[in-house]
Amino acid sequence: MRRLALAVAGVCLAGTIGLAQDPVAVSPKIYQVVIDNPQVRVLRVVAAPGAKTAMHQHPDNMTVLLTNGKMDFTDGDGKTQTVEMKAGEAMWSNAQKHMGVNTGTTPLEAIVVELKGSAPPKATLPASRPNMTMTKLADSPRAEAFKVTADSSFKEAPKTTHDYDQVVIATAPSTLSIEVGGKTTSTWKRGDALFIGRGQPHQAQSTSSKPEEFIIVAIK
């Protein structure tokens, strides 16, 4: 479990950086929106070696790493922190302003789940689920990230609901079937993400004889 905490302070860096902006607006080649609804915005991050983002800001968020990598983050006060990252990790960050540089030798890929609003937690997250192994990767007052492994017997009946919002993120190709809102997803690539809302009816089922691994960001 790791926690990335970069200070939220200041609006300029060395007198050359103005007000922090939305990452998609200022660094569109690195950040792309894959989900945007009243609860969350989910961003796909792909940063080539040497790629640099402009100063930008995020609300409270959970980052899920899809590849290994190394980033240098600089906050609004000009303080720099080097962060080594490993595929399969998750990191919680409070609202922040920063810029980043991929100082590694390979492309860095990640999913950032930004939480909207500031409502207090409404749910207690389950410590286990039937036919699913859960390993907590990151925790915070607002959300948790779990590595989950669904065995071949995993199945959720039609109209199953949960008392929390969740973003399901594929870390490898998979054929896990999830139906939500009348749409079924059964082919997953690394980095694919699906939102299931609090109390939203859905069903899910393993379609493989082998265990299938995902990361779930559950919002309390």
Whole-model pTM over 0.85: yes
For residue 24, report the phi and psi dihedrals to the nearest 5 degrees. -70, -35
120 domain-assigned:
no
173 domain-assigned:
yes
Q: Report the half-sphere exposure of 153 (CA within 13 A, side-chain side).
A: 5
Are the CB atoms for 37 and 58 separated by under 8 Å?
no
- CA 155-179-163 angle, to 5 degrees, is 75
pLDDT, tens digit, 9 for 90 and up, residues 64-116: 999 999 999 999 899 999 999 999 999 999 999 999 999 999 999 999 999 99
The verdict on 9 and 75 lying in the same domain is: yes
**Confidence bin at 20 (pLDDT 50/70/90):** low
CA distance 69 to 91: 14
- CA 115-90-202 angle, to 5 degrees, is 60
The verdict on 74 and 34 lying in the same domain is: yes
Are the CB atoms for 28 and 14 separated by under 8 Å?
no
The closest of 185, 151, 190 to 170, measured between CA atoms, is 190
The verdict on 110 and 136 lying in the same domain is: no
CA distance 214 to 216: 6
Of 31-35, 45-49, 118-122, 201-205, the poorest mean pLDDT is in: 118-122
- What does DSSP say about strands 80-85 and 69-75: parallel, antiparallel, or unpaired? antiparallel
193 domain-assigned:
yes
59 domain-assigned:
yes
124 domain-assigned:
no
What is the residue-averaged pLDDT of the chain? 91
User: 14-45 b/e with 16+ CB inside 10 Å = b?
Assistant: eeebeebeebeebbeebbeebbeeebbbbbbb
Domain extent, residue 28, equals 2-115
pLDDT, tens digit, 9 for 90 and up, residues 50-62: 999 999 999 999 9
Domains in the chain, number: 2
- Is the pLDDT score of 7 beyond 70? no
Q: What pLDDT score was predicted for residue 119?
A: 85
**Percent of residues, the chain, with pLDDT higher than 90:** 87
The verdict on 153 and 201 lying in the same domain is: yes
The verdict on 83 and 149 lying in the same domain is: no
pLDDT, tens digit, 9 for 90 and up, residues 166-190: 999 999 999 999 999 999 999 999 9
- Domain stops at, among 83, 115, 147: 115
- Domain stops at, among 85, 115, 145: 115
Structure token digits, residue 140: 């915070």
